[in-house]
C-alpha cells in the first residue's frame, strides 16, 4: 500500500503510464470528446446489466474522461454524476472526473476487471469520494487493453447507487464488453497494424 507524507493511505494507485497512455489516446483520436458511438455502447451496457450508470472511460495523466456515458435521465450528461463532474464556463456539465475519484484508476493499475458488489465492504474503496458525493455503492469495470502497446487505455464500467450481486455473470459481461469495445477502437486506430 502507498502512504502520503502524513501516513494516510492513498486510495488511488500511482500511475506511471499516464503520459504514455495520454499520447496513445491522442494517436488513436480518443477522448476528450464525447462520442455518439461510445454513448450508444454505454446505453447498451447499462441495459445489459440493468445499471443506472454506464461509462466508456479514458484516463490521462490527471483526469478521467467519459467518452461514452449512460445516465438514468438518458441525457448523456456528466451532471448526473453530481458534484464530481466538472463544469464548463457556460455551466454545461462536462464529462471529466478527477483521477482520484471512482474505481477506474484501480482497474487501469490492475489491468484486470474489478467487481465491488458493495464498496462499503472494502475499506480501501469505501472512502472514495464517489461514495459520499454521488452515493455510489456498487462497481463493475474492466480495462480496455491496447494489443499494440500493452497499455490499459481506459475502462468500461457500470455503477449503481445500491449494492449489487454482479456475480460471475456480471464479470463475464463486463469483460466481453471491454473486448467488444476494443474491436471498435482497433477499427479507428490509424496506427493499428
Half-sphere exposure of 45 (CA within 13 A, CB side): 35
pTM of the predicted model as reported, rounded to 2 decimal places: 0.83
Residues 126-150 pLDDT 10s: 887 788 778 899 999 999 999 999 9
Closest CA to 188 of 97, 69, 67, 75: 67
Domains and CATH numbers, the chain: 18-188 (3.30.450.40)
Residues 23-79 pLDDT 10s: 999 988 887 778 889 999 999 999 999 999 999 999 988 888 999 999 887 655 554
Closest CA to 158 of 59, 79, 78, 42: 42
DSSP code per residue over 106-147: HHHHHTS-EEES-GGG-HHHHTSHHHHHT---EEEEEEEE-T
The Cα 57–Cα 97 span in angstroms is 10
List b or e across 76-90, with b for residues whose CB sees 16 or more CB atoms inside 10 angstroms.
Answer: bbbbbbeebbeeeee
Give 10's DSSP letter: P
CB 164 within 8 A of CB 117: yes
**Proportion of the chain above pLDDT 70, given as a percent:** 80
Dihedral-angle region of residue 102 (phi above 0 means left; psi in -120 to 50 means alpha; beta otherwise): left
Amino acid at each position: 500500500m502507498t502512504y502520503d507524507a502524513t501516513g494516510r493511505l492513498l486510495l488511488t494507485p500511482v500511475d506511471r503510464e499516464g503520459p504514455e497512455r495520454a499520447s496513445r489516446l491522442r494517436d488513436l483520436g480518443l477522448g476528450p470528446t464525447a462520442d455518439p458511438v461510445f454513448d450508444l455502447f454505454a446505453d447498451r451496457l447499462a441495459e445489459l446489466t440493468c445499471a443506472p450508470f454506464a461509462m466508456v472511460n479514458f484516463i490521462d495523466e490527471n483526469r478521467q474522461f467519459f467518452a461514452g456515458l449512460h445516465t438514468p435521465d438518458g441525457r448523456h450528461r456528466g451532471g448526473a454524476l453530481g458534484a464530481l463532474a466538472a463544469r464548463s464556463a457556460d455551466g454545461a456539465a462536462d464529462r471529466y472526473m478527477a483521477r482520484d475519484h471512482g474505481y477506474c484508476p484501480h482497474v487501469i493499475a490492475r489491468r484486470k476487471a474489478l467487481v465491488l458488489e458493495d464498496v462499503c465492504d472494502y475499506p480501501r474503496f469505501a472512502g472514495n469520494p464517489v461514495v459520499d458525493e454521488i452515493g455510489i455503492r456498487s462497481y463493475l469495470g474492466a480495462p480496455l487493453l491496447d494489443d499494440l502497446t500493452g497499455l490499459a487505455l481506459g475502462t468500461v464500467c457500470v455503477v449503481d447507487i445500491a449494492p449489487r450481486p454482479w456475480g460471475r455473470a456480471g464479470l463475464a459481461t463486463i469483460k466481453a464488453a471491454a473486448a467488444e469495445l476494443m474491436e471498435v477502437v482497433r477499427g479507428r486506430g490509424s496506427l493499428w497494424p
